[in-house]
C-alpha cells in the first residue's frame, strides 16, 4: 500500500487509507489527504476527488440491479461519449460489487451527485449512476476487489467543461425514475388525465416540442433549442409518455423535473396556463356515483349524538392567539382575541403579499406560548402544545427556509413538526394530514396548511369545495385544535379564489388579509377583514434580515387591558 500510495502521489492524487468496509482508516480530516506512513496498516486506498487531486471526478456505475456492465456499455456507445472516451483514454476500473468507475479530470468539479436512478424492489429510488466529486472519494485499485480494466489510472487526462457536460448529461439521460407532480386538471377522469391516457398524446407532444425548437435524437433523447451538442431531456425513459428534463437552460421547463403530455401542452401552447389548456380539451362525461344510504338505526344514532343538551353548560373555547391593540386616547393597550380552539381561520392575499411571512410570525408566537414582538400572544393550553405545519406549495429549499425563520423567531424548545407535501396529489395530501392528526393523538393545538387550495382537485368544483371545507370542520372539532389556512385572492378583486375560497370564507372563524403597502412597498399590511365578533386594528410588518418584523412601537409604555367583548351574552333572550 505504501508503494501504491507513492505511485498515486507522483501522479498528482491525494490519497487516504481505508478499512475493510471502504471507510477511512482515520476518519478525522481525511479531506486533507495523508502521507505515506498512514498507509502501513491500510486494507485499501482511496482517491480524494476535486481540487486536491487536480480536478479528479469519478463516475460510479453501481451494480445494485446486476446490470452495471450493460449500463456502462450503453453509455460508452453514445457517439459523443465514445469520442471523448477514445480521445482521452479515460481509465475504467471494476469494483468489488461488480460496478465500474470511469475517471476524468476537469477544471469544473461539483460535489457528489446522483445522475440516474431506478426504483428497487421496495419501491424506493436507487442510484445506477452517480458521481464522486469535490468533497468525496472513491476506493481504487489495488484495494481487494478493485482492478483497473481499461487504460492507465495514473494518467487521468483533463477534459474540457463542455466535454464534461456531455458525459454528465448523457448519464442523466439514462435516468429511469423521477416523480411526476400532477396538476389539479390531471386527477381521475378530468380533461388532463384523459388526454395523458390517450396514446395519440405522445405523438402530439413530440410535434409540440419540435415546433418549439427541440431536436429529437436517438433512443428517446432530446436536445433543447439553441444547443448544438449534447442531450437535454428524454421522452419515454421514465415512463412511455413522460418528458424528463435535466438541462438548466430549457425554459419554460425546470431542470430535473418530469412532465406529462398535458403539462407539455400547457407550457408550450398556453404559456403555462393549465386552466386554458384544460379548456382546450374535450370535456369528459360527468360520472355520477350513487352514495350508499344509511340505515334508520345509523341515522338515529347520528342524530342523537348531534343533539344539543340544554341542561349542560358548554364551555367557551380557549383563546390560543391574542393581539395587542393600541388606544392612544385612553393610553392603554387592549388584548383582543384572534384564534380559538375548535375553529379554523383563513389568511388571504394576492401573490407575493408575504402571507407566509405573516404565518411565520403567528406560528412563532404559538411556539413561544407567550408574547412576540409586543404584538402577538400565543397561549396554547397544557396538553395541546404540539404544532403542525404543512407546506403544499413551496419547494424543499423554500420550505426549509420558512421553518428556519420560525425557529429563529421562536427560539427555545419546540414541539413543532413541519412537512412538505408538494410532491403528492390533493387526495394524498388530505390522507397524510388526517393521519398526522391521528398520530399525535389529540395533542395538537395549532396547525398551518399553506395553501389549502392544494387539497382540492379543482377550486371551482362545488363538490371539492364542500369536501375540503368539511375536512377542516371535522379536524378542528374532533381534535379540538385551530387550523390556519392560506388562500390566494383573485387578481381583479379581494375575494378568495373559486368555489373553494367562498366555502372557506363562509365557515372560517376569522379572515385576515395581507396586502402590500402601496405607500411603502417593503411593508405588508395585516387587516381583519371579517370575524365572528372579533376585530383588531390594522398593522404592518417588514422584512429585516430575512425575518418578519412588526412595525409597531410606543405601546410598550401603555397599560394592558384584556377585553372580553366576544364573550358578552346576547341582549335578546334565548327562544327555547
Residue 254 and residue 341 in one domain: no
Residues 232 and 328 in one domain: no
C-alpha dist (Å) from residue 29 to 34, 46, 55? 9, 14, 19
Residues 406 and 357 sit within 8 Å (Cβ to Cβ): no
Q: Is residue 442 a contact partner of residue 480, using CB atoms and an 8 Å limit? A: yes
Stated length of the chain: 576
- Burial label for 554, CB within 10 Å (0-12, 13-18, 19+), is exposed
Q: What is the pLDDT along the chain (576 residues), one digit of tens a residue?
A: 888 889 999 999 998 889 888 888 876 677 667 777 788 888 999 999 999 999 999 999 999 999 999 999 999 999 999 999 999 999 999 999 999 999 999 998 888 999 999 988 888 899 999 999 998 999 999 999 999 999 999 999 999 999 999 999 999 999 999 888 888 888 767 888 889 888 788 989 999 999 999 999 988 999 999 998 889 999 999 888 999 999 989 999 999 999 999 999 999 999 999 999 999 988 765 544 445 567 887 777 777 776 776 777 767 788 888 888 776 555 566 788 888 899 999 998 887 889 999 999 999 999 988 889 888 999 999 889 999 999 988 888 888 889 999 999 988 667 889 898 888 888 888 889 998 998 887 889 999 999 888 888 877 777 788 889 899 999 999 999 999 999 887 555 555 566 788 888 888 888 999 998 777 777 899 998 887 767 788 889 998 888 999 986 444 444 444 444 444 333 333 333
Q: Where are the beta strands (DSSP E) in 199-260?
A: 215-216, 221-223, 233-235, 243-245, 257-259
- Asked if 25 and 45 sit in the same domain, the reply is yes
* Exposure string over 489-514, b if 16+ CB within 10 A, otherwise e: beeeeeebbbbbbbbbbeebbbbbbb
Do the Cβ atoms of 177 and 118 come closer than 8 Å? yes
What single string gives the DSSP state of each residue in 440-471? TTT-EEEEEEE-GGGGSS-TT-HHHHHHHHHH
Domain stop point among 172, 207, 237: 172
Dig out the grid coordinates for 165 from the structure: 457536460
Is the CB of residue 211 less than 8 Å from the CB of residue 225?
no
Cis check: omega of the bond before 142, within 30 degrees of 0 = yes
Asked if 72 and 111 sit in the same domain, the reply is: yes
Asked if residue 503 belongs to a domain, the reply is yes
Same domain, 120 and 24: yes
Residues 479 and 357 in one domain: yes
Q: Are residues 512 and 559 in the same domain?
A: yes
Phi/psi region, residue 54 (left: phi>0; alpha: psi -120 to 50; beta: rest), is left
Q: Please report, for residues 35, 97, 177, 362, the alpha-carbon distance to residue 356 in angstroms, rounded to integers and kept in the order given.
A: 53, 48, 32, 10
| Order of strands across the sheet that contains 137-140 | 14-18, 44-48, 137-140
What is the spatial distance between Cα 165 and Cα 106, in angstroms, rounded to a whole number?
A: 10
Please indicate, yes or no, whether residues 334 and 221 belong to a single structural domain of this protein. Answer: no
For residue 509, the domain's CATH number is 3.40.50.300
Q: Look at residues 224, 248, 279 and tell me which one is the last residue of a structural domain.
A: 279
Number of domains observed in the structure of the chain: 3
Whether residues 332 and 222 fall in one domain:
no
Global pTM reads 0.51
Residue 307 domain flag: no
Distance CA 33, CA 46 (A): 10
Q: Are residues 233 and 369 in the same domain?
A: no
Q: Are residues 516 and 450 in the same domain?
A: yes
HEC string for 473-517: HHHHHHCCCEEEEEEEECCCCCCECHHHHHHHHHHCCEEEEEEEC
Regarding whether 338 and 269 lie in a shared domain, the answer is: no
Residue 347 lies in a domain: yes
Determine the angle formed by the axes of helices 79-88 and 68-77, rounding to 10 degrees. 90
From 497, 501, 525, select the one nearest 513 (Cα to Cα).
Answer: 525
Whether 308 maps to a domain, the answer reads: no
User: Which run of H or of E encompasses 365?
Assistant: helix 355-368
The answer as to whether 224 is a domain residue is yes
Flag whether 286 is in a domain: no
Residue 300 lies in a domain: no
Q: Residue 493: what pLDDT?
A: 52
Range of the domain at 85: 2-172
Determine, yes or no, domain membership for 103. Answer: yes
Among residues 138, 172, 206, the one where a domain terminates is 172
Instruction: Report the CATH number that the domain containing residue 55 is assigned in CATH.
Output: 3.30.2250
Amino acid at each position: 500500500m505504501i508503494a501504491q500510495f507513492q505511485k498515486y502521489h507522483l501522479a498528482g492524487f491525494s490519497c487516504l487509507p481505508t478499512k475493510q468496509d471502504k471507510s477511512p482508516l482515520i476518519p478525522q480530516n481525511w479531506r486533507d489527504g495523508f502521507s505515506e506512513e498512514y498507509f502501513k496498516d491500510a486494507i485499501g486506498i482511496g482517491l480524494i476527488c476535486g481540487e486536491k487531486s487536480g480536478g479528479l471526478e469519478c463516475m460510479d456505475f453501481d451494480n445494485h440491479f446486476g446490470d452495471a456492465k450493460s449500463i456502462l456499455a450503453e453509455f460508452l456507445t453514445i457517439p459523443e461519449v465514445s469520442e471523448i472516451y477514445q480521445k482521452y483514454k479515460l481509465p475504467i476500473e471494476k469494483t468489488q460489487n461488480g460496478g465500474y468507475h470511469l475517471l476524468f479530470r476537469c477544471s469544473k468539479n461539483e460535489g457528489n451527485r446522483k445522475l440516474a436512478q431506478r426504483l428497487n424492489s421496495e419501491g424506493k429510488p436507487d442510484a445506477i449512476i452517480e458521481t464522486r466529486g469535490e468533497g468525496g472519494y472513491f476506493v481504487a485499485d489495488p484495494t481487494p476487489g478493485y482492478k483497473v480494466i481499461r487504460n492507465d489510472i495514473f494518467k487521468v487526462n483533463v477534459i474540457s467543461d463542455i466535454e464534461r457536460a456531455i458525459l454528465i448529461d448523457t448519464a442523466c439521460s439514462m435516468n429511469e425514475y423521477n416523480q411526476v407532480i400532477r396538476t389539479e386538471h390531471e386527477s381521475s377522469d378530468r380533461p388532463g388525465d384523459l388526454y395523458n391516457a390517450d396514446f395519440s398524446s405522445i405523438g402530439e407532444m413530440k410535434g409540440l416540442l419540435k415546433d418549439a425548437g427541440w431536436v429529437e435524437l436517438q433512443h428517446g433523447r432530446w436536445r433543447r433549442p439553441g444547443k448544438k451538442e449534447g442531450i437535454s431531456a428524454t421522452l419515454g425513459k421514465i415512463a412511455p409518455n413522460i418528458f424528463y428534463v435535466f438541462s438548466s437552460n430549457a425554459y419554460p421547463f425546470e431542470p430535473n423535473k418530469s412532465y406529462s403530455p398535458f403539462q407539455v401542452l400547457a407550457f408550450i401552447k398556453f404559456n403555462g396556463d393549465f386552466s386554458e389548456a384544460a379548456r382546450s380539451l374535450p370535456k369528459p362525461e360527468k360520472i355520477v356515483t350513487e352514495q350508499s344510504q344509511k340505515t334508520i338505526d345509523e341515522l338515529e344514532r347520528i342524530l342523537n349524538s348531534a343533539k344539543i343538551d340544554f341542561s349542560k353548560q358548554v364551555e367557551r373555547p380557549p383563546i390560543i392567539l391574542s393581539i395587542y391593540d393600541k388606544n392612544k386616547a385612553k393610553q392603554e393597550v387592549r388584548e383582543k382575541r384572534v384564534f380559538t380552539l375548535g375553529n379554523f381561520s383563513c389568511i388571504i392575499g394576492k401573490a407575493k403579499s408575504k402571507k407566509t411571512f405573516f404565518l411565520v410570525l403567528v406560528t412563532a408566537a404559538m411556539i413561544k406560548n407567550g408574547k412576540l414582538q409586543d404584538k402577538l400572544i400565543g397561549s396554547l393550553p397544557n396538553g395541546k402544545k404540539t404544532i403542525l405545519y404543512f407546506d403544499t406549495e413551496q419547494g424543499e429549499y423554500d420550505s426549509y427556509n420558512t421553518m428556519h425563520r420560525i425557529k429563529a423567531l421562536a427560539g427555545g424548545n419546540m414541539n413543532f413538526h413541519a412537512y412538505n407535501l408538494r410532491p403528492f396529489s390533493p387526495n394524498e395530501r388530505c390522507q397524510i394530514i388526517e393521519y398526522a392528526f391521528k398520530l399525535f393523538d389529540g395533542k395538537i393545538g395549532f396547525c398551518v396548511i399553506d395553501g389549502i387550495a392544494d387539497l382540492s382537485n379543482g377550486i371551482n368544483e362545488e363538490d371539492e369545495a364542500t369536501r375540503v371545507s368539511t375536512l377542516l370542520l371535522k379536524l378542528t372539532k374532533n381534535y379540538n385544535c385551530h387550523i390556519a389556512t392560506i388562500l390566494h385572492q383573485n387578481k381583479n378583486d379581494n375575494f378568495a379564489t373559486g368555489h373553494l375560497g367562498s366555502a372557506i370564507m363562509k365557515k372560517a372563524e376569522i379572515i385576515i388579509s395581507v396586502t402590500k403597502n402601496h405607500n411603502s412597498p417593503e411593508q405588508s399590511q395585516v387587516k381583519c377583514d371579517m370575524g365572528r365578533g372579533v376585530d383588531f386594528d390594522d398593522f404592518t410588518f417588514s422584512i429585516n434580515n430575512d425575518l418578519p418584523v412588526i412595525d409597531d412601537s410606543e405601546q410598550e409604555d401603555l397599560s394592558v387591558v384584556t377585553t372580553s367583548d366576544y364573550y358578552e351574552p346576547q341582549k335578546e333572550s334565548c327562544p327555547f
